[in-house]
């Protein structure tokens, strides 16, 4: 398996940063500071370089520093023995370019997966407790980074879904129904839908083997975790048969009532719906187990471990729980890990006692300096 290590990260006009450069090393990279000082923005910059978008659903114009009209991100990354430079040049409303070693990617989809990332944040409990859209996003975010054609298929599916819904709405509003028009759209959607549905089904099966083992280790086998993929194509062999079966309902409602845009990932603890019968501690542990499974799955599929970014996940945890989670990460032999924390000593003190390599960076009003190395 190959390895990747971010050596430097430069931010220009990105969020709260006018210009800043981080020089990272091996092991744990601990970024500390009070809330609102710019810690999370560093992780979001790494996420943007990997997935061409903010983790926090912010639009590009919301990522530009106030008063500016562009931002630039640049990272040097060591892939085994070779150093690569990734650059994102973004001018909202005009252009978005991603480069590797000064060569511009023709499309963003060709870049996604080259610098895989997994980010864990406090609001990730929405994956379990939120609406089904959060769980579909979790599946899509993973598969876009490991399956070469998944992003293109997802984009095509969403574009054709808009066309299909617009046509169905027009029929409800009085336009004469043309079965050939709908059939033409469905024929284009079919290959993408069937490809994505199969990958989602396989992903959930493999993910939960990993997540269950992770949850057992984190929770000390307090409960059994599980998941069931409830997909549109689980009960139908083909997209055309699903659409034929749904036609009368679609025409009545004026929109596509069944499809991959309504798929669900049903998560359980001891057989009960996790979103309804979980404590905050169980939710956090389950999410952490899922996210680490996401990391493990991507590592196994691509042979390249993603960057693991942990945003303020140790808040309100006691010393023993922090120590246990860090030991779990160490046991996974993940390599370089990025952690943000409001407590300047919490993580460094534990890592020092464990004799682990780490660097600590202090962020204050988006200015940074390295405090200690261990």
Q: What is the pLDDT of residue 1?
A: 64
Annotated domain spans of the chain: 1-116+307-374, 124-303
pLDDT digits (tens, 9 = 90+) for 192-245: 999 999 999 999 999 999 999 999 988 877 789 999 999 989 888 899 999 999
CATH of domain 124-303: 1.20.1050.90
| Mean pLDDT taken over the chain | 93
CATH class of 1-116+307-374: alpha beta
The average pLDDT across 339-366 equals: 92
pLDDT reported for residue 372: 67
pLDDT of 37-67, one tens digit each? Answer: 899 999 999 999 999 999 998 999 999 999 9
pLDDT of residue 280: 83
The pTM assigned to this predicted structure is 0.92
3-state secondary structure the chain: CCCEEEEEEEEEEECCEEEEEEECCCCEEEEECCCCCCHHHHHHHHHHHHHCCCCCCCCHHHHECCCCCCEEEEEEEEECCEEEEEEEEEECCCEEEEEECCEECCCHHHHCCCCCEEEECHHHHHHHHCCHHHHHHHHHHHHHHHCCCHHHHHHHHHHHHHHHHHHHHHHHCCCCCCHHHHHHHHHHHHHHHHHHHHHHHHHHHHHHHHHHHHHHHHHCCCCCEEEEEECCCCCCCCHHHHHHHHHHHHHHHCCCCCCHHHCEEEEEECCEECCCCCCHHHHHHHHHHHHHHHHHHHHHHHCCCCEEEEECCCCCCCHHHHHHHHHHHHHCCCCCEEEEECCCCHHHHHHHHCCCCEEEEEEECCEEEEEEEC
Give the pLDDT score at 211.
Answer: 95
In 3D space, the residue among 293, 229, 341, 287 whose CA is nearest the CA of residue 279 turns out to be 287
Residue 117 has pLDDT above 90, yes or no: yes
Contact (CB, 8 A) for 66 and 15: no
pLDDT at 316 over 80: no
Q: Cα separations (Å) of 215 from 31, 33, 286, 293?
A: 26, 30, 6, 10
User: What's residue 102's pLDDT?
Assistant: 95
């Amino acid at each position: 398996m190959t390895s990747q290590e971010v050596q430097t990260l430069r931010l220009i006009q990105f969020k709260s940063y006018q210009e800043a450069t981080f020089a990272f090393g091996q092991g744990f990279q601990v970024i500390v500071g009070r809330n609102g000082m710019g810690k999370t923005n560093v992780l979001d910059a790494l996420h943007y370089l990997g997935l061409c978008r903010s983790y926090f659903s912010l639009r590009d114009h919301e990522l530009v520093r106030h008063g500016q009209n562009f931002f630039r991100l640049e990272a040097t990354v060591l892939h085994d023995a070779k150093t690569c430079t990734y650059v994102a040049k973004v001018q909202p409303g005009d252009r978005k370019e991603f480069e590797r070693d000064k060569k511009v990617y023709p499309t963003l989809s060709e870049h996604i997966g080259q610098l895989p990332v997994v980010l864990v944040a406090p609001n990730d409990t929405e994956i379990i407790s939120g609406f089904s859209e959060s769980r579909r996003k979790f599946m899509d975010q993973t598969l876009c980074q490991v399956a070469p054609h998944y992003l293109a298929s997802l984009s095509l599916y969403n574009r054709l879904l808009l066309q299909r819904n617009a046509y169905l709405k027009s029929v409800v509003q009085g336009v004469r129904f043309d079965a050939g028009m709908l059939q033409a759209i469905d024929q284009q959607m079919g290959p993408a839908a069937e490809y994505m549905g199969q990958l989602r089904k396989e992903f959930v099966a493999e993910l939960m083997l990993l997540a269950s083992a992770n949850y057992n280790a984190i929770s000390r086998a307090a409960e059994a975790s599980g998941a069931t993929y409830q997909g549109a194509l689980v009960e139908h062999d083909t997209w055309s048969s699903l659409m034929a079966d749904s036609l009368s309902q679609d025409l009545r409602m004026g929109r596509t009532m069944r499809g991959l845009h309504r798929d669900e990932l049903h998560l359980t603890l001891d057989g009960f719906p996790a979103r309804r019968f979980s404590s905050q501690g169980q939710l956090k542990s389950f999410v952490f187990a899922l996210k680490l499974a996401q990391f493990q799955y991507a590592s196994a599929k691509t042979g390249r471990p993603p960057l693991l970014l942990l945003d303020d996940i140790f808040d309100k945890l006691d010393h023993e729980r922090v120590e246990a989670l860090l030991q779990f990460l160490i046991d996974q032999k993940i390599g370089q890990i990025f952690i943000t924390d409001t407590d300047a000593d919490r993580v460094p003190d534990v890592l020092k006692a464990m004799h682990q390599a780490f660097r600590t960076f202090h962020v204050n009003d988006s200015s940074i300096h390295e405090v200690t190395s261990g």
